[in-house]
Amino acid sequence: MTASNVVYLRCAAEYLQMTEEVAEGNLISQSETFLNQTVLRSWKDSMKALQTCDDLLPYADDLNIVKRCIESLAVKVSTDPNLFGWPIEHGAMQSPGGSDWWYEDVSSLSLPLYKKLISSMESRGVGEEIIAGSLVSYARRFIPGLNKNTSPSDEEQRNLLEEIERLLPFQKGVATTKFLCSLLRTGLILKVNPVCLLNLERRIGMQLDQATLDDLLMPTFSYSMETLYDVDCVQRILEHFLATDQGSPSLAPSISVAKLIDGYLAEVASDLNLKLSKFHTLAAAVPEYTRPLYDGLYRAIDIYLKSHPWLTEAEREELCRVMDCQKLSLEACTHAAQNERLPLRVIVQVLFFEQLQLRTSIAGCFLVSDNLEGSRQLRSGLMVPNEGGGWATAARENQVLKVGMDHMRIRVSELEKECSTMRKEIEKLGLERSVWSKVPRKFGIKLKSQMCSTQEDTVSEHHRSSSEKMERIQTQISKHKRNKSLDD
């Protein structure tokens, strides 16, 4: 007798009624003794016996052989094997004492037997993370979308994927986001039932902050093929994330997801068939507080406008409303101010806020300069020239500051020219000259006092004309440079 034939012998003996009443030590008694005292004590032999049960159903089930083999395996997984000294011999063991030593062995079981084994392990308190690891290993072995070496039928794959999803613990982190996205992508191809797809989307949504851009690029598998990627699927995943992330003490996951969605929008924006409503809805679904900067969204919008030149001015304005011009970096503002694809209203807003950012930067430069000057005077009174290179450091910092001021003065001059050009264009459109002085209010610009000045500004200061602001900035720069020359 061996572990590979004992189940056959036991079933045959039962069929032939080879009991003790016929002869002492008959085949039923011998096979039972060998099964209980030898096979079920060994992990390897229990696996071999269980694998042979597939050919002997329902006889092996009626004789409780399947149940006994499964319970033997489940006990060995749920308890430390070293505790009882079981002779565990298996092919999956990579590191002694690891929780995944049995994954590869049980992956050789058929789905019905594997499901029974997983259920028995759950009832014995095996951890959800450990069970999830086994399910992932089993799925990778038999689902072609995860493993190119297998070729079961579509029906078998569909049933297997649905069972894997049903058995997988519904808990964040038990499976990687990449694996869940692979399951969802394969499920879309196989057209698994809608409940399975919805559950996979919810699982991904719970840990969307761990996803990458490649994970979200789900191709469209519908017959219509309206778009290259399934934007609706990503929209639902994002909604699940926002629903589960409410009340989270940390903003880091939300900020990470906002950056991920902006990257996704930039990737799908070049699709000519992507409707404006879908692009706009996904962009607007990201909460405003999760975007410290809008540079990523601006890039996506620019790609979309470039790929859809037939959009009307009203449609362009509607799309750009999801972008907060106050949260564009200076580099993005510079690009947007010269972007002919943007609506005129947006360009005016960008120019206005770029001026405010420059003004704030200049005020910061003055503050840094004053600090450097005070530091230099302190060093001249308390330090000797050769201590720590203080004189050389001060000279180098002064030179860097001067270069920065020169660059800023050039940019201010460029802004004046752009404002002058914009003024002429607005006048050509039939607007009165007085409208220019009311640009902030006309275009719905809301200002924050800390952006306009380092001191407290009054409401009237927000509405001064652009030319007056530029003259004031240039006067400050000239005065500061004269003072610097005298000091030097």
Mean pLDDT, to the nearest integer, of 63-69? 95
Reported as a single tens digit per residue, the pLDDT across 412-464 is: 666 667 667 766 666 666 544 444 444 444 444 444 433 333 333 433 343 34
Distance CA 351, CA 437 (A): 14
Residue 2: count other Cβ atoms within 10 Å of its Cβ. Answer: 12
Q: Do 221 and 189 touch, CB atoms closer than 8 A?
A: yes
Q: Do 334 and 347 touch, CB atoms closer than 8 A?
A: no
pLDDT of residue 433: 41
Candidate ranges 145-154, 289-298, 399-408; pick with highest mean pLDDT: 289-298
pLDDT of residue 387: 44
Among 450, 445, 451, smallest CA distance to 324 is for: 445
Reported as a single tens digit per residue, the pLDDT across 94-106 is: 333 456 789 989 9
Among 261, 255, 268, 299, smallest CA distance to 283 is for: 261
pLDDT of residue 82: 42
pLDDT of residue 326: 83
The first and second tokens of residue 453, run together, are: 């000045």
Residue 487, judged by CB atoms within 10 A of its CB (0-12, 13-18, 19+), counts as exposed
Q: Do 394 and 372 touch, CB atoms closer than 8 A?
A: yes
Give me the residue label for tokens 């565990």.
88
What separation in angstroms does the CA of 221 have from each of 28, 100, 226, 229, 432? 56, 35, 10, 9, 54
Q: What is the SS3 assignment for 349?
A: helix
pTM of the model: 0.68
Distance CA 473, CA 387 (A): 38
Q: Residue 53: pLDDT above 80?
A: yes
Reported as a single tens digit per residue, the pLDDT across 379-395 is: 454 444 444 445 455 55
Q: How confident is the model at residue 86 (pLDDT cuts 50, 70, 90)?
A: very low
Using the CB atoms, write b or e for 114-132: b if 16+ within 10 Å: bebbbebbbeeebeeebbb
> Which amino acid appears at position 330 of this protein?
L
Mean pLDDT, to the nearest integer, of 179-189? 92
pLDDT of residue 453: 36
| DSSP character at residue 460 | G
Domain residue spans in the chain? 1-126, 127-206, 356-377+398-446+465-488
Mean of pLDDT over the chain: 77
Among 123, 124, 81, smallest CA distance to 102 is for: 81
Distance CA 164, CA 174 (A): 13
